[in-house]
Amino acid sequence: MIAVNAEVLQLLLLLSAALFSLGVYGVLTRKNIIGLLIGLELMANAVNINLVAFARHQGGTAGQVFTLFTIALTVAEVAVGLALVILLHRSRRSTETDAAAQLHG
Amino acid sequence: MIAMIALSLIALCVVSAGLFAVRSTNLVHSVLWLAVSLAGTSALYLMVGASFLSAIQIILYTGGVITLMLFGVMLTDRNETTKIGNPSERKRLGAVSALAVFALIASAVSSMSFTGGGSTIVHTKAIGQALLTEHLLAFEALSILLLAAMLAAIVVARRRDP
Amino acid sequence: MSHQTLALFVLLSPLVAAVVLFIVAPLRVRGPVSAGITIASTAISLGASVMLAMARMFGQSAPNVDIQAAWLPGGGKVLSTVGVYVDPVAAPMMVVVALVALCVQVYSLGYLGHEPSRDRGRYFAYHALFAFSMLGLVMAPNLLQLFLCWELVGLASYLLIGYYWTKPSAGQAALKAFWVTKFADMGLMLGLMVLFVKTGGFDWTVPPGQVLMTADAEVIAGLLFLAVVGKSAQFPMHIWLPDAMEGPTPVSALLHAATMVAAGVYLIVRAYPIFSLAPTVLTFMVYLGAFTALFAAIVAVFQDDIKKVLAFSTCSQLGYMVAALGTGSMVSGYFHLTTHAFFKALLFLTAGSLIHAVHSNSLHDMGGLWKKMKPTGVLLIIGSLALAGFPMTSGFFSKDLILEELLHAGHIVPLIAAIAAAGLTAFYMTRVVMLSLFGAPSEAAEHAHESPAVMLAPMALLGALALVGGLLHGDFAKMAGAEAAFHITPVGIIATATGLTGIAAGLWRFSPGKRAAVGSQWVSAPMRFVTWLTGNAPVDRAFALFYRRVMLTAAAGVAWFDRYIIDALINLSGWAVLKGAERFRRLQTGRPADYIYAVIAGLIALTAMGVM
Amino acid sequence: MSAFDALNGVEILAVDGIVAVGALGLLLADVAMPAGNKRILGYCTLLLLALGFTATFTLDLTGTALGGAYVGDGFAIWCKRIFLAAGFFGVLGGMDETARIGPRRQGEYYQLLMMSLLGMTLLAGARDLILLMVSFELMSLPLYAMAAWGGIGTYPKRKGPLPSMELPAKTKWHRPAEAGLKLYLVGAVSSVVALYGISLLFGIGGSTRFDVLARTMNAGPVMSLAVAMIVGGFAFKIGAAPFHMWVPDTYQGASTPFVAFLSVAPKAAGFAALVQLLLGPLAGHTDTWMPLVLALIIVSLLVGNLMAVPQQNVKRMLGFSGVAQMGFGLMALLAAGTVAHTSGQKSEGLATLLFFLAAYMVANMGVFFVIEAVAASGRTEDETADEKDSDDTLAVFRGLHARSPGLALAGLLFVLSLGGIPFAIGFWAKVWVLLGLWTAGYGWLVVLAAALSAAGLFYYLQIARSMYMTPEGDLPKVTARMELGLAILLLALLTMAVGLFPGPVMEAARVAVGLG
């Protein structure tokens, strides 16, 4: 175990920033919706790392509880997202975002 | 010092797994790389003393999300979905945006000055207690949220009414 | 009946009619029933208004009627009230509105007699709504109620102009009129806001104990004037008025001659305590009004559509009113508003009668109607003379007063413009009369026949008022507490002479002698005079040269400018919005990936804004 | 704190309790009852929502619970009323459509709606970051599914991937699925962004409680970053540009009665969340967030008003116009923030925001219901919601005044209210927003907003013009079904009554935020 001092905190925050940016990249460049959801998961993971880092730095319970909640939120969100993917696949036989581009203008 | 190096290595592992997850051309690989990244994060939690969260991370993310995603891949047309890529016309713009986001966050975060750093261990019991006292309402709301998510997923993924 | 009750009757009877007609569909879909309800309600309004006005104008100075109900409570105090307020300023306008509305409604019975019953029912329901909102505007105890009714008037006019909804151009014109005026109304709304912020209320006058700084007054008056420019069709927002002629002609008589467009002028009259604190705005009003008067008069000369002539003429006359109010003379502007309401409504109704006869708006299709439609013709000539300011008609008195005020205030350039416009007015009205009544008989005119009595009666009433309405000028002056008895002054003589010259020029230019001889005995007497005047060749040639080379060219340029530049600019802005939007539409690609891009880009922008 | 302490003051959660218990009860009842007449569940939902709405008036819901994580104040209660009323009308007006799309499964729609409403009511009182985010998600998740409601596709006949995305005209295409997916994708990204911002806020404040955060947070680049992310994330929910891209597509694609609900209740909730955060712990940092809100306002006003002009589909048009309307809502927030900044007091701005949200709810739901009534009359029994593209183009309103005078009149009223013409409720909302903004010192913004809303009239009037100034041709007569008709009637009466006498309602809003 390692105590989260200012240095470690800084490292973790930068890690989280990097993961978040990777998630942004994934979300922006993936055509496949499941691929896109992977990017989303990376972004959510970055949030969790942030929270854990702060929680361990400050020492209270709130941050860890918060992380618990965000993990659950993300899982729930992904579950609904995958259901929508299946729905899309059923009506268009495709899981690419561009399959849902009939409404525009 | 050694701990710091280990931490950095895990961090590197998490980031590179993340990179592969968003760059891989095979969707199944991509999902698995995500699993690696999430598992690495779990190890990270363990290192900084959040053992309960580490376990939760493994169970919920690696056990839940990854399985869900693999189900998603399998349930949809495999021939079409497993071969994916980052279309070239979006790659550059995506990379620029991601870099911009990183630069903005990193510059803000590195300007932050923190002092000290608690090393007190928070036991799982304390977390449970907080969950059922201060955060009771959020906890109850979360239980309904999970129910809602389940219901929503069923409603969406089910076929039409006969 | 007490005055309070009378005042309530004025406002409530059209309201009841409108509500009943809008809600009870079976009444609305039956044209005669709907018409009966509306006309009866307007007649009640008119009766009550006349009784109220009599008490004020000829009797002893009756106390003001002031019934107000707290309406917008806020923060423990009453923000504003609604109610009816009749004072010497409101009383004449009430009569004008109710009278013209009644005339127009009765006239419509004949004019729209051939329309389907259901459409007529709708038409009269709109009329009831219009009468209510216009009277509510006139009788408003404060600026807020005036604003609300102002908007309602706009809505009612939108519905009325768009009455012929099977014509696509009517729908477009209605939309354009509503849009342009609504854009100008923004000024009224902002003006109200500033007024409220500065004085804490919406009163006509600055509450006692409050001081309104000149700079604030300038801002408020300027914003209010923006609304006036839109509603009263002053340059360059006059462009909606000619388009609005797509509506039925009686509607034009009501809205675009007598009442709605005059609402702007009435707003200035009402809010005069505020305007009088804003000298810059007042001066601007003089110049803009005079310019509009001249500009619109020039454009009117070149219209072949009789309604368009009258529409531009209305712009021009409203310009007179605005200029007059700018000089600080409330009486002359307001008086002109009243007389103009009579003769312009008359002109529109006669025009409608002619259009009804030949089923065309073009002056050239109307030639030679004098033989077929003598009563209408006489009324048209009466209206034209009044508009031209022929001595002893109503227009003569009111126009003269305005010119005098311009001279008194020392605005020489506007005065010259106004006199020139008076000459042009006489000229183009003579043109209308000559072309439509005495021109070469057209094919359509062969089958023309006189309008029914139900149309002629209201016209005759307005004609009588157009002739003798000028005699009321003393009472108007008394009303404002001023002594503006009519004098014969050099300016008056010059203006009258200009007007007569305009008539003469019109007679000369469009005399039947220049075409196939179809003049009757009545017209040939003055014609002989004109022929005698211009009989010798050099004068004739010089006059012709001047007319053709100078006047015609310049005026054609002005008309071209109006049509292709001003109108086009306004249309262009709408077009640009549409095109721009079409371009922007492509951003909404429909591809979810691009939407996520938008989110991230927005995020980066916001973050960059925040962090930097 | 013991578990019993945590329950102190829990009675202020009465309304939320009614909704939560209602949702679970509906779930159980749905399972227990035979598939025959599930419509009864809809009536039960109405009853529950009416009960909750009444409870906001009869019970005293002010106070704090759970040690300050949840607060009942006038603002929260007023917001709850808006949510419950929107839910009530949404259920009432959508009853037929819900039953038509899935006769045997309509119960699930009501359960999801109740769960979403629970998220909203909790959100209104949340004074804790965790509770805020959980209730925010609880509100959002069911909406994704409800947007896709009815878009349950069948497999196309052909095998293999589609050669191109251009589907043949005859093929069914599933607008609700697309609507739900777009809402979800943009929503999920936005909410994870907001979460990131919130995690940073937690980092610099050291607590999840608003009252603590208000004391401990210091301004700095991290706070700016966090605030930007939070504002951006919540701007998605209210549909402010440039986070609005889902709005027109989802409005067009999803079933109309649901859109009526979606276009008002979650937006009000998004505003509640923004107010909670920006005028709560961030009230002392207006310098940080006001420029962002200002930017959102300007972009929203421009994009919304401009893009609505060329639209031919009424629902799309209303989507864009909604973006512009949200600009107005944000203006009220801006005014409130300015006053809070300069004088540290509650301001008219908040009361105006409440009034604006209520007014927007009434008029906007009304318009959508009128659209639904017209579209429903042209549908046959076995069609799904997504089969006709022409269901809600401007052309279907042709000559509505002749086909159904009452419906046309109601439609006109709603449109005029949205356009801000006097004697309709929306006019007062606009006037008060602009007045508040003027007093807050944003004269130039008032002028811009007034000019753009005058331009906005253009497209609102297109609807009026289509209803009143075009011949009806051979289009059929329209009669709204009973529930839908009742919803329209009630909303029209509200629009007119409050439009004529806005004083008492505004006064109530002022009292709710602690003024007067």
Kindly report, residue by residue over D468-499, the tens digit of the pLDDT.
777 777 777 888 788 899 999 999 999 999 98
Mean pLDDT confidence for C376-380? 87
- Say if D496 is an interface residue toward chain B (CB within 8 Å): no
Shortest distance, CA C593 to any CA of chain A (angstroms): 7
- Structural domain including A26 reads 6-100
Determine the pLDDT at residue C154: 85
Q: Which of residues 118-177 of C touch D (CB under 8 A)?
A: 118, 122, 147-148, 151-152, 155, 158-159, 162, 165-166, 170-171, 174-175
DSSP state letters, C296-361: HHHHHHT--BHHHHHHHHHHHHHHHHHHHHHTT-HHHHHHHHHHHHHHHHHHHHHHHHHHHHHS--
Residue of A nearest to D165 (CA): A99
Distance (Å) from the alpha carbon of B33 to chain C's nearest alpha carbon:
23
Rounded Cα–Cα distance for residues C344 and C335 (Å): 14
pLDDT for C527 beyond 70: no
In tens, the pLDDT along C213-229 reads: 788 888 888 999 998 99
Among C507-516, D171-180, D204-213, which range has the highest average pLDDT?
Answer: D204-213
Distances (CA, A) of D56 to B140, C598, D352, D417, D504: 22, 39, 20, 27, 17
Residue of D nearest to A61 (CA): D207
Domain end, chosen from B77, B107, B132, is at B77
pLDDT value at position D87?
A: 96
Distance, CA of C270 to CA of C397 (rounded, Å)? 22
Choose between C573 and D11: higher pLDDT: D11
Closest CA to A9 of B121, B119, D195, B37: B119
Residue B112 inside a domain? The answer is no
Rounded to 10 degrees, the C-alpha dihedral C559/C561/C562/C568 comes to 140
C-alpha D511/C-alpha D516 separation (Å) is: 6
| DSSP-derived pairing of the beta strands C81-86 and D63-65 | unpaired
Contacts of A60 in chain B (CB under 8 A): 122
For D439, the closest chain C residue by CA position comes to C197
Residue D164 has pLDDT above 50, yes or no: no
Which of C241-255, C561-575, D80-94, D343-357 has the least mean pLDDT? Answer: C561-575
> Which chain C residues are closer than 8 Å to D504 by Cβ?
73
- Residue C481 is predicted with a pLDDT of 58
Q: What is the DSSP string of C421-473?
A: HHHHHHHHHHHHHHHHHHSPPPHHHHT--PPPHHHHHHHHHHHHHHHHGGGGH
pLDDT at residue D44 in the model:
94
Question: What is residue D319's predicted lDDT score, i.e. its pLDDT?
Answer: 93
The CATH number that applies at residue A47 is 1.10.287.3510
List the chains bordering chain B where 3 or more Cβ pairs fall under 8 Å. Answer: A, C, D
pTM for the model: 0.86
| A94 part of contact set with chain C, CB < 8 Å | no
B84 contacts in chain A (CB < 8 Å): 30-32, 35
d(CA D506, CA D352): 8
Q: Strand C73-74 vs strand C65-70: parallel, antiparallel, or unpaired?
A: unpaired
**At residue D234, does pLDDT exceed 50?**
yes
**Lowest-pLDDT range, C114-118, C274-278, C562-566, D281-285?**
C562-566
Banded model confidence at residue D166, pLDDT cuts 50, 70, 90: very low
* A68, amino acid identity: L
The pLDDT of A40-46, averaged and rounded, is: 95
| Cα separation of the two ends of chain B | 65
How would you label D46-76 residue by residue, b for 16+ Cβ within 10 Å and e otherwise? bebbeebbebbeeeebeebbbbebbbbbbbb
Q: Could you give the ipTM of this predicted complex?
A: 0.88
CA C29 to chain centre: 30
> How far is Cα B151 from Cα D112, in angstroms, rounded to an integer?
8
Q: Which chain B residues are Cβ-neighbours of C597 within 8 angstroms?
A: 93, 97
Asked if D307 contacts D260 with a C-beta cutoff of 8 angstroms, the reply is no
Closest C-alpha among C406, C347, C467 to residue C100: C347
pLDDT band at D323 (very low <50, low <70, confident <90, very high): very high
Residues in chain B: 162
Per-residue pLDDT band at B26 (split at 50, 70, 90): confident
Residue to mutate among D130, D196, D245, D247, with most A CBs inside 10 A, is D196
Using a pLDDT cut of 70, give the percent of chain D over it. 91
Say which range, C226-235, C517-526, D292-301, has the weakest mean pLDDT: C517-526
Q: Which of D287, D280, D209, D198 is nearest to D234 (CA)?
A: D198
Say if A105 falls within a structural domain.
no
Residues B4 and B73 in one domain: yes
Other CB atoms within 10 Å distance of the CB of residue C419 = 22
Q: Report strand pairing: C73-74 vs C77-78.
A: antiparallel
Separation CA B113–CA B110 (nearest Å) = 8
Asked whether residue D121 carries a pLDDT value surpassing 90, the answer given is: yes
Among residues of chain C, what percentage have pLDDT more than 90?
A: 10
Whether B109 maps to a domain, the answer reads: no
Q: Does A24 touch chain C (CB under 8 A)?
A: yes
| Count of CB pairs separated by less than 8 Å, B with D | 123
Among D242, D292, D470, select the one facing C601 at the smallest CB separation: D242
pLDDT of residue C65: 79
Tokens at residue C81, please?
């009230």
Q: Which of residues 22-51 of A touch D (CB under 8 A)?
A: 23, 27, 33, 36, 40, 43-44, 46-47, 50-51
Average confidence (pLDDT) over B52-62: 89
Residue with the two structure tokens 């693999």: B70
A46 pLDDT more than 70: yes
- Whether the CA torsion C329, C334, C335, C340 is positive or negative: it is positive
Stretch B54-61: mean pLDDT: 89
- In this complex, the residue of B104, B133, B152 whose CB is nearest that of residue D225 is B104
Residues C600, B107: C-beta atoms closer than 8 Å: no
Nearest CA in chain B to D2: B133
When comparing pLDDT for C181 and C349, which is higher?
A: C349
Residue C485: predicted pLDDT: 60
Q: Which H, E and C letters describe chain A, residue by residue?
A: CCCCCHHHHHHHHHHHHHHHHHHHHHHHHCCEHHHHHHHHHHHHHHHHHHHHHHHHHHCCCHHHHHHHHHHHHHHHHHHHHHHHHHHHHHHHCCCEHHHCCCCCC
Give the start-to-end residue ranges of the domains of chain D: 7-153+175-512
If you count them, how many residues does chain D have? 516
For residue C71, what are the contacts with CB-CB under 8 A and spacing of at least 6?
C78, C79, C80, C81, C82, D501, D503
Residue C421 predicted with pLDDT over 70:
yes
Q: Which residue did the predictor score with more confidence, D451 or C318?
A: C318
Which whole number is the average pLDDT over D287-301? 93
Lowest-confidence segment of C97-111, C262-276, C514-528 by average pLDDT: C514-528
Quick one: DSSP state of residue C78?
E
Any CB–CB contact under 8 A between D516 and chain C?
yes
Describe chain C by its helix, strand, coil percentages, rounded to 5.
75, 5, 20
Q: What is the pLDDT of residue D151?
A: 61
Nearest CA distance, D242 vs chain A (angstrom): 15
Residue D293 pLDDT: 94
Judged against a pLDDT cut of 60, whether residue D453 lies above it is answered with yes
Which of D116, D192, D250, D388 to mutate to probe the A interface, most A CBs <10 Å? D192
Assess whether pLDDT exceeds 60 at residue C523.
Answer: no
Range with the lowest mean pLDDT among C259-263, D358-362, D389-393?
D389-393
pLDDT band at B89 (very low <50, low <70, confident <90, very high): confident
Query: How deeply is C220 buried, as exposed, middle or buried, from its count of CB atoms within 10 A (0-12, 13-18, 19+)?
Result: buried
Confidence category of residue A95, pLDDT binned at 50, 70, 90: confident
Question: Does a structural domain hold residue A1?
Answer: no
Q: What is the pLDDT of residue D387?
A: 52
Chain B CA closest to residue C594: B90
The predicted pLDDT at position C392 comes to: 81
B88 is a domain residue: no
pLDDT at res. C59: 56
> d(Cα D14, Cα C186) in Å, to the nearest integer?
45
User: Tokens for D303?
Assistant: 């994009």
- If you measure CA to CA, which chain D residue comes closest to A100? D178
Q: How confident is the model at residue D168 (pLDDT cuts 50, 70, 90)?
A: very low
Of A27, A98, A101, the CB nearest to C596: A27
Nearest to B133 among D3, D13, D142 (CB): D3
Q: Which domain holds residue B58?
A: 1-77
- Position D113 confidence tier, pLDDT thresholds 50, 70, 90: very high
Is the CB of residue D260 less than 8 Å from the CB of residue D483?
Answer: no
Distance (Å, whole) CA D468 – CA D464? 6
Lowest-confidence range among A35-44, C415-424, D100-109, D346-355? D100-109
Cα distances (angstroms) measured from residue A60 to each of A73, B113, D203, D208: 21, 19, 12, 11
For residues C160-175, give the mean pLDDT: 70
Give the distance from residue B141's alpha carbon to the nearest chain D alpha carbon, in angstroms: 7
Say whether pLDDT at C429 is over 70: yes
C564: DSSP letter = I
Contact A97 C593 (CB under 8 A): yes
> Taking residues C485-505, what's their average pLDDT?
79
Average pLDDT of chain A, as a whole number: 89
Q: Do D248 and C179 touch (CB under 8 A)?
A: no
Chain C residue with minimum CA distance to B102:
C604
Residue in A with minimal Cα distance to C586? A105
> For chain D, what is the mean pLDDT?
86
Decide if B120 contacts D114 (C-beta within 8 A). Answer: no
Residues of chain B above pLDDT 70, percent: 88
In a domain, B91, yes or no: no
Confirm or reject contact between A88 and chain C (CB < 8 A). Answer: no
Range of weakest confidence among B6-15, C121-130, C185-194, D245-254: C185-194
* Interchain CB contact of B106 with D (< 8 Å): no
Interval B44-50 mean pLDDT: 90
**3-class DSSP state for residue C22?**
helix
Going by pLDDT thresholds of 50, 70 and 90, the confidence category of residue C522 is: very low
Which ranges of chain B would DSSP assign to H, the alpha helix? 2-23, 27-47, 51-56, 66-75, 78-82, 88-110, 124-132, 136-157
Partner-chain residue, chosen from B14, B76, B145, that has the shortest CB–CB distance to A89: B76
Higher per-residue confidence, D456 vs C535:
D456
